[in-house]
Amino acid sequence: MPTIDLGAVPLRELNAALHALPADTNETHWKVINPRGKHAIAVGLDVPVTVEVEGSVGYYCAGMNKKATVVINGSAGQGVAENMMSGRVHVKGDASSAAGATACGGLLVIDGNASARCGISLRGLDIVVKGNVGHMSGFMAQAGNIVVLGDAGEHLGDSIYEARLYVRGTVKSLGTDCIEKDLRPEHVKDLRRILDAAGLPDVSPTEFRRYGSARRLYNFHIDSIGSY
Amino acid sequence: MTSDERWIHTPPRHSATFDAHAIAEIHRAAATGIYDIRGFGAKRKVPHFDDLLFLGASISRYPLEGYREKCDTSVTLGTRFAKKPITLKIPVTIAGMSFGSLSAPAKEALGRGASLMGTSTTTGDGGMTEEERAASSLLVYQVLPSRYGMDPDQLRRADAIEIVIGQGAKPGGGGMLLGQKISERVAKMRTLPQGIDQRSACRHPDWTGPDDLEIKIIELREITDWEKPVYVKVGAARPYYDTALAVKSGADVVVLDGMQGGTAATQDVFIENVGLPILAAIRPAVQALQDLGMHRKVQLIVSGGVRNGADVAKCLALGADAVSIGTAALIALGDNHPHLAEEYKKLGTVPGAYDDWHEGRDPAGITTQDPELTKRLDPVAAGRRLANYLSVLTLECQTIARACGKSHVHNLEPEDLVALTVEAAAMAQVPLAGTNWIPGKSERGW
Ligand SMILES: Cc1cc2nc3c(=O)[nH]c(=O)nc-3n(C[C@H](O)[C@H](O)[C@H](O)COP(=O)(O)O)c2cc1C
């Protein structure tokens, strides 16, 4: 297993080495040690390899990930897995703000809490946060799912489009145009799929409440002016 | 006074304050309850390049022969950090205009025209289309606050990356694309429901402030192996500080867009009342680069109301490395052409004044997603028109540069210019014509 010591090797070399891997590489498991909060670790990957980071990372770890699995054995700074397209990112600690921002696909699992704006402008990724999420999570989220086992902060789902938000605990307040919606069988089924993928077979989907867009602001209407 | 004389009035007198436009706007607002949204750029008169003149050569400066002596026009962008800087043959590039605001053939035509002239085009909100990638030999990929269509594969296929902080028409505002233009293809590319009125974010979702921007730039460079030039685009608001902060954040190129800059759809009040005219923004931006020892190392591209080769030459003389055009490029493709007078009439307007680009009913087939209207624009012919126009801009700029004795258009300098008005002299920091007076020149030099 290739091990890269970021205490000794420049970040640029790590990312370049990962980008140079052919799709059918035999070097499918990489270890990164001494990350020491460095930014942009394992970004722009495009091959089905696993990168395990031993420690905490700075901003944008696994940014724009495609196909790869990135495991962070520590906490993650701002924008972890931002704009991810596919693959899997697992943060064993907490995540700072904008986790999974604008991401299009794959799965992001955060074992701890996620800070403000988790899943902002989400475009199709599934996010599972085992702890709580901060304020404005799911802001303008367009597609995908945010599943929160703990509580959600203020203004959840503000200006949300078609993304789905599932919260097991309490929601401090809902944002503009975000409402609670029925948890219908298709949602239970989908939630089951996501929880299983996140390795949570014992968590029951029916314990969650679902939130989404009231779609009142999709087209401008003069009577909605106070909502903006 | 007889009873008849009592009713004799002075002739009707219009108010300078409540002029016809102001009154019409009050009526419109009262009738609709919503602000006016439109395309194009600021229509009010602001100090502009027309207020500057070149001095030309004289006894102390000798000119170059118009058709014999070389006057180079090439510009290389991204020399600071990028492994693969790009070189434009002409100092004019096509600004970012989204597919969505523009039709697919219009985007293709921009690519064709620019490529014929050896310059670049830029994507826009909503991502990259195959048509424009195929038609553009040099394509700049925008990273916008909305991130609609943002895709790492497209990032890797781009020749340069432009992080958009703001736009001259609306510094501090987000994108807007109204339902009529959210066709199935546009909706799919942006992951939005079809037909909604899209109002996109005005701030980036995953960073705020210059320290974060620096990290964002590093991320984009890491993703693309430090190959591509990274531009930072700002609307002209605080050009000295914005330029300095963009440089500090690690930009290769700063793109500065003045208030006259075009937009596809913005509130009229925003277009007309926020931001600086480009004339007032170039010198502070150049000063910031000079103060940091970065002039010509970090390149400066300016835009906002560039119409002809004289405008291009004036931007370069004030210290820019290149200019960027949006509105003028659309006009070159055929927007606002007199032959569409009948069609514009049906839309309640006239050639030259058409600005309802947000409505998607453009008879020229440029700012629309309507399949029938879109077909009207032939990308090959329109691309040729754009190339012709770009060629004229370049020839005009060279004509002036040679007259000022310059073997490269970058050798134009503020000393070649004078201003016709006190305002323009103050903003461009060149003397009022016939004097050696530069109003407001402080010890700091700006
Ligand atoms: C139809 C249209 C669409 C535009 N879309 C974008 C965009 O997506 N992103 C962006 O940064 N600027 C956009 N702009 C602004 C241009 O990039 C550029 O800043 C401006 O047009 C330059 O000024 P000019 O029109 O006077 O040449 C758009 C402008 C127009 C006219």
Give the pLDDT mean for B196-209: 92
Q: Where are the domains of chain A?
A: 3-216
Q: Is B207 near chain A, with CB under 8 Å?
A: yes
Task: Give the C-alpha separation, B22 to B16, whole Å.
Answer: 10
CB neighbour list of residue B440: distance below 8 Å, 6 or more residues apart: B426
Identify whether residues B249 and B299 lie together within a single domain.
yes
Helices (H) and strands (E) in chain A, counts: 2, 11
Kindly determine whether residue A39 and residue B215, on different chains, have CB atoms separated by under 8 Å: yes
Residue B156 pLDDT > 90: yes
Give the pLDDT mean for B28-44: 94
Task: Quote the radius of gyration of chain B (alpha carbons, Å).
Answer: 23
Give the pLDDT mean for B36-60: 96
Give the pLDDT mean for B54-75: 92
Identify whether residues B24 and B143 lie together within a single domain.
no
* Chain A CA closest to residue B177: A219
Task: Give the C-alpha separation, B428 to B446, whole Å.
Answer: 9
**B175 pLDDT tier (thresholds 50, 70, 90):** confident
Give the pLDDT mean for A215-228: 75
Q: What pLDDT is stored for residue B8 in this prediction?
A: 83
CB neighbour list of residue A214: distance below 8 Å, 6 or more residues apart: A177, A178, A179
Q: How far is the CA of B39 from the centre of ligand 1 (A)?
A: 10
CA separation (Å) from A10 to A38, A83, B81, B272? 10, 24, 16, 48
Kindly determine whether residue A60 and residue B206, on different chains, have CB atoms separated by under 8 Å: yes
Asked if residue B249 belongs to a domain, the reply is yes
Residue B344 pLDDT > 60: yes
State the CB neighbour count (10 A cutoff) for residue B55: 14
Task: Pick the residue whose CA is nearest to atom 11 on ligand 1.
Answer: B96
Tell me how close the Cα of A203 comes to any Cα of chain B, in angstroms: 30
Number of A:B CB contacts under 8 A?
A: 103
Residue B446 pLDDT > 80: no
Query: Which residues make beta-bridge pairs with B76?
Result: B87
Query: Which residues make beta-bridge pairs with B40?
Result: B263
Q: Give me the domain span that covers residue B14.
A: 5-38
Determine the residue among B186, B223, B267 to mutate to test chain A binding: the one whose Cβ has the most chain A Cβ atoms within 10 Å: B223
Residue B445 pLDDT > 60: no
Residue B367 pLDDT > 90: yes
Range with lowest mean pLDDT among A23-27, B62-66, B167-171 = B62-66
Percent share of chain A, pLDDT over 90: 94
Give the pLDDT mean for B337-354: 97
Residue B29 pLDDT > 60: yes
Identify whether residues B27 and B78 lie together within a single domain.
no
Length of chain A: 228
Identify whether residues B69 and B104 lie together within a single domain.
yes
What angle do helix axes A11-19 and B209-223 make, rounded to 10 degrees?
A: 40
Q: What pLDDT is stored for residue B259 in this prediction?
A: 97
The partner residue sitting opposite B34, judged by closest CB among A101, A162, A222, is A222
pTM (predicted TM-score): 0.96
The two tokens of residue B391 are: 């060629």
Asked if residue B257 belongs to a domain, the reply is yes
**B384 pLDDT tier (thresholds 50, 70, 90):** very high
Cβ–Cβ under 8 Å, residues B140 and B158: yes
Asked if residue B332 belongs to a domain, the reply is yes
Kindly determine whether residue A40 and residue B219, on different chains, have CB atoms separated by under 8 Å: yes
Residue B444 pLDDT > 90: no
Residue with tokens 């180079």: B72
The domain that holds B325 is classified in CATH as 3.20.20.70
Length of chain B: 446
Mean pLDDT of chain B: 95
Residue B107 pLDDT > 80: yes
Task: Give the C-alpha separation, B94 to B324, whole Å.
Answer: 5
| HEC per residue, chain B | CCCCHHHCCCCCCCCCCCCHHHHHHHHHHHHHCCCCEEEECCCCCCCCHHHEEECCCECCECCCCCCCCCCECCEEECCCCCCCCEEECCCEEECECCECCECHHHHHHHHHHHHHCCCCEECCCCCCCHHHHHHCCCEEEEECCCCCCCCHHHHHHCCEEEEECCCCCCCCCCCEECHHHCCHHHHHHHCCCCCCCEECCCCCCCCCHHHHHHHHHHHHHHHCCCCCCEEEEEECCCHHHHHHHHHHCCCCEEEEECCCCCEEEEEHHHHHHCCCCHHHHHHHHHHHHHHCCCECCEEEEEECCCCCHHHHHHHHHCCCCEEEECHHHHHHHCCCCHHHHHHHHHCCCCCCCCCCHHHCCCCCCCCCCCHHHHHCCCHHHHHHHHHHHHHHHHHHHHHHHHHCCCCEHHHCCHHHEEECCHHHHHHHCCCECCCCCCCCCCCCCC
Asked if residue B435 belongs to a domain, the reply is no
Task: Quote the radius of gyration of chain A (alpha carbons, Å).
Answer: 18
Query: Which residues make beta-bridge pairs with A75?
Result: none
**B6 pLDDT tier (thresholds 50, 70, 90):** confident
Burial of B67 (0-12, 13-18, 19+ CB in 10 A): exposed
Determine the residue among B144, B186, B206 to mutate to test chain A binding: the one whose Cβ has the most chain A Cβ atoms within 10 Å: B206
**Domain count along chain B:** 2
The two tokens of residue B218 are: 């590093």
Cβ–Cβ under 8 Å, residues B250 and B217: yes
Residue A165 pLDDT > 60: yes
Cα angle A81-A83-A88, degrees, rounded to a multiple of 5: 45
Cβ–Cβ under 8 Å, residues B41 and B305: yes
> pLDDT tens digits for B121-132?
999 999 999 999
More confident of the two residues B195 and A102 = A102
Identify whether residues B108 and B28 lie together within a single domain.
no
Kindly determine whether residue B195 and residue A85, on different chains, have CB atoms separated by under 8 Å: no
Identify whether residues B180 and B312 lie together within a single domain.
yes
Cβ–Cβ under 8 Å, residues B100 and B368: no
The partner residue sitting opposite B223, judged by closest CB among A63, A98, A218, is A63
> pLDDT tens digits for B269-327?
999 999 999 999 999 999 999 999 999 999 999 999 999 999 999 999 999 999 999 99
Task: Pick the residue whose CA is nearest to atom 2 on ligand 1.
Answer: B264
* Region A3-216: CATH code: 2.160.20.60
Give the pLDDT mean for B66-95: 96
More confident of the two residues B444 and B149 = B149
Strands B176-177, B230-235: parallel, antiparallel or unpaired by DSSP?
A: unpaired
Ligand 1 atom nearest to B124, measured from its CA: 8
Residue B443 pLDDT > 60: no
Residue A104 pLDDT > 80: yes
Residue B433 pLDDT > 70: yes
Cβ–Cβ under 8 Å, residues B123 and B139: yes
Asked if residue B357 belongs to a domain, the reply is yes
Cβ–Cβ under 8 Å, residues B408 and B71: yes
- Measuring CA to CA, which residue among B138, B144, B166 is closest to residue B242? B166
Q: How far is the CA of B271 from the centre of ligand 1 (A)?
A: 12
Task: Give the C-alpha separation, B105 to B99, whole Å.
Answer: 10
